[in-house]
């Protein structure tokens, strides 16, 4: 049996790391990216003062009534997830700092060969 050159396994690992796969291992060049915000963050909003803010949380992605993926937004509220084309429901986890996360589901349509840019705004319940 012949031994592989030491570089060959590294090249194979590099090639695997560069491929993109959606949940379920399906390769895709489509998905969703954007920012999540919550607000209001104070009882009275005033001019020249932000009344909403980005937040970090866990989100669930569902299709046809079943969860197919999850993602986390970062401290700036930014996120990105690769998904095959289709209709998706995005719901914040019950631990998210918003009011009634399950009732604030967002619908997003992903077209083929497209990364959809979205701004997902959630209600904190502060009044």
CATH number assigned to the domain covering 7-123 = 2.60.40.10
Average predicted confidence (pLDDT) for the chain: 85
Is 11's pLDDT higher than 80?
no
pLDDT at residue 108, as a whole number:
97
HSE (side-chain half, CA atoms, 13 Å) at 13: 5
Q: What is the pLDDT of residues 21-69, one digit of tens each?
A: 456 556 679 999 999 999 999 999 999 989 999 999 999 999 999 999 9
Of the chain, the percentage scoring pLDDT greater than 70 comes to 78
CA distance 38 to 28: 30
pLDDT at residue 25, as a whole number:
58
What does each C-alpha distance from 122 to 88, 89, 92, 97, 119 come to in angstroms?
Answer: 17, 14, 9, 9, 10
CA distance 22 to 27: 6
What residue segments make up the domains of the chain, in order of their start? Answer: 7-123
């Amino acid at each position: 049996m012949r031994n592989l050159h030491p570089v060959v396994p590294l090249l194979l690992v590099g090639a695997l790391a560069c491929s993109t796969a959606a949940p379920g291992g399906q390769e895709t060049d489509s998905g969703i990216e954007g920012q999540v915000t919550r607000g209001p963050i104070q009882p009275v909003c005033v001019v020249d003062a932000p009344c909403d803010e980005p937040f970090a949380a866990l989100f669930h992605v569902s299709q046809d009534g079943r969860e197919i993926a999850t993602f986390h937004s970062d401290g700036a509220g930014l996120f990105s997830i690769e998904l095959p084309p289709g209709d998706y429901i995005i719901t914040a986890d019950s631990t998210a700092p918003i009011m009634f996360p399950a009732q604030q589901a967002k619908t997003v349509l992903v077209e083929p060969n497209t990364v959809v840019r979205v701004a997902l705004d959630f209600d904190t319940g502060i009044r």
